[in-house]
């Protein structure tokens, strides 16, 4: 009994320590985005949304944030198309050469040090005469997140009974109809979850982006550049915003996953042509 109490207590304190060291700095940033500091203490009388207002007037940061969102969404969409095609190919012909080759190649950008991926892309774009800018960043990110989307989609496809596709064909469905009515509805959840995950990866990708950025920086790259000149307090507001956004994404992801593991669900009920 006594021993157990002691154990409970030490476990609790370790947990507390971990959580505090993880979340205290974050909490501090959050607080500081609303209040100002005086002599090392938070001045609770100074609540204002001033830093947020300042943030939105800061064109450099605002543009960078927009770029990041744009790059993330575009890269995820591009990667989804290719990942879906690759996963369907790998699922329907698992022992074909193309599927096995793809299996290795698709993970390379994910496993290679980002600096190598970034550098190779940079050299490639330069040789090909493509100017650096948002499009090149989008390509870089799409290549990078392709693997994660592909893997999640393939896992789902492999869990689907092969005879579903057979049954659809048997009942007279063309390949396109089978894709639309059978495969795609079963890929909605995995597409959503892998999309969110991939977007999060793209959002904080720095190293590859550094090599591919022209004049339009993404947020991490902009922040990285700001280290040299020093940060202004609106950075706290920015971090607090991203934090809130991340929490929403995480909850959405957890919710989607929770539903996904349940039974089928009525994903494409009553689709009519």
Partner 1 sequence: MANPETGSPAAADVGLPLLRIRGLGARFGTVEAIKPLDLDVNDGEFLTILGPSGSGKTTLLRTIAGFQPPSAGRIEFDGKDIADLPINRRPFNTVFQDYALFPHMTVRENVGFGLRVRGTAKAQLNDRVDAALGIVGLEEFDARYPSQLSGGQQQRTALARAMICEPRLILLDEPLAALDAALRRQMQNFLKTLQRQSGITFLFVTHDQSEAITMSDRICVMRSGSIEQIGTPRELYYRPKSRFVAAFFGASNIVEPCRIHETRDDATIVETPVGQFRISGPPPDSSSGLALAIRPEALGPEDETRVNTLELEVVAVSFVGSETITELRHRRTSQVFTMKTRSDPAARPPDIGSILNIGFDPAECALVTEAAN
Among 31, 73, 120, 169, binds partner 1 (CB under 8 A): 169
Under the criterion CB under 8 A, does residue 95 sit at the interface with partner 1? Answer: no
The CA–CA distances, whole Å, from 29 to 23, 49, 104, 244, 257 equal 10, 14, 42, 12, 30
Residue labelled with tokens 């994903």 = 267
Min dist. Cβ of residue 261 to partner 1 (A): 13
Nearest to partner 1 of 22, 167 (CB atom): 167
- Choice from 185, 197, 206, 242 touching partner 1 (CB under 8 A): 185
Q: What helix, strand, coil percent values describe the chain, rounded to 5?
A: 80, 0, 20
Among 48, 158, 174, 232, binds partner 1 (CB under 8 A): 174
In degrees, to the nearest 5, what angle opens at C-alpha 175 toward C-alphas 169 and 177? 85
Q: Is 260 in the site for partner 1 (CB under 8 A)?
A: no
CA distance 272 to 269: 9
CB-based contact 246:200 (threshold 8 Å) = yes
Q: How far is it between the farthest Cα atoms of the chain?
A: 76
The Cα 87–Cα 106 span in angstroms is: 11
Tell me if 273 contacts partner 1 by CB under 8 A: yes
Site string for partner 1, 148-167 (x = CB under 8 A): -------------x-xx-xx
Q: Does 26 bind partner 1 (CB under 8 A)?
A: no
Stretch that binds partner 1, among 100-108, 175-183, 223-231, 245-253 (CB under 8 A): 175-183
Which residues, 6 or more positions from 99, have their beta carbon under 8 angstroms from its beta carbon? 89, 90, 93
- In the complex with partner 1, the residue whose CB is nearer, 57 or 162, is 162
SS3 37: strand
Q: Which stretch binds partner 1 (CB under 8 A): 79-87, 116-124, 198-206, 257-265?
A: 257-265
* Binding letters toward partner 1, positions 212-251, x by CB under 8 A: ----------------------------------------
Span of 56-64, 120-128, 196-204, 260-268 interacting with partner 1 by CB under 8 A: 260-268
Cβ(145)–Cβ(117) under 8 Å? no
Chain-centre distance for alpha carbon 32:
27
The footprint of partner 1 on this chain (CB under 8 A) covers a number of residues equal to 27
123-152 positions binding partner 1, by CB under 8 A:
none
Assess 168 for contact with partner 1 (CB under 8 A). Answer: yes
CA nearest neighbour of 144 among 89, 213, 221, 199: 199
Cα 28–209–224 angle (5° rounding)? Answer: 35
Binding status of residue 181 toward partner 1 by CB under 8 A? yes
Copy the structure tokens of residue 185: 């509805």
Among 32, 83, 90, 182, binds partner 1 (CB under 8 A): 182
Tell me: does residue 259 bind partner 1 (CB under 8 A).
no
Q: Which residues form the interface with partner 1 (CB under 8 A)?
A: 161, 163-164, 166-174, 177, 181-182, 185-186, 263-270, 272-273
């Amino acid at each position: 009994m006594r021993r157990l109490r002691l154990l409970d207590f030490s476990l609790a304190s370790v947990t507390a320590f971990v959580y505090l060291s993880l979340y205290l700095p974050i909490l501090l940033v959050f607080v500081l985005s609303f209040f100002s500091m005086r002599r090392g203490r938070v001045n609770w009388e100074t609540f204002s949304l001033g830093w947020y207002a300042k943030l939105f007037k800061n064109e450099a940061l605002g543009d960078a944030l927009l770029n990041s969102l744009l790059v993330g969404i575009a890269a995820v969409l591009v990667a989804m198309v290719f990942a879906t095609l690759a996963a369907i190919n790998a699922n329907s012909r698992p022992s074909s050469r193309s599927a096995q080759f793809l299996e290795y190649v698709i993970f390379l950008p994910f496993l290679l040090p980002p600096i190598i991926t970034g550098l190779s892309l940079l050299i490639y774009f330069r040789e090909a005469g493509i100017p650096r800018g948002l499009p090149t960043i989008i390509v870089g990110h799409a290549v990078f997140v392709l693997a994660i989307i592909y893997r999640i989609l393939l896992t789902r496809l492999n869990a689907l009974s092969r005879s579903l596709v057979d049954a659809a064909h048997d009942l007279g469905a063309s390949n396109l109809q089978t894709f639309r009515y059978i495969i795609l509805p079963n890929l909605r959840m995995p597409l959503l979850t892998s999309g969110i995950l991939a977007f999060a990866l793209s959002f904080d990708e720095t190293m590859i982006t550094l090599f591919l950025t022209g004049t339009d920086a993404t947020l991490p790259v902009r922040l990285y550049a700001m280290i040299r000149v020093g940060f202004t307090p609106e950075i706290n507001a920015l971090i607090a915003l991203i934090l809130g956004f991340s929490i929403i994404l995480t909850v959405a992801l957890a919710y989607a996953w929770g539903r996904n593991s349940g039974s089928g669900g009525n994903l494409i009920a009553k689709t009519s042509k």
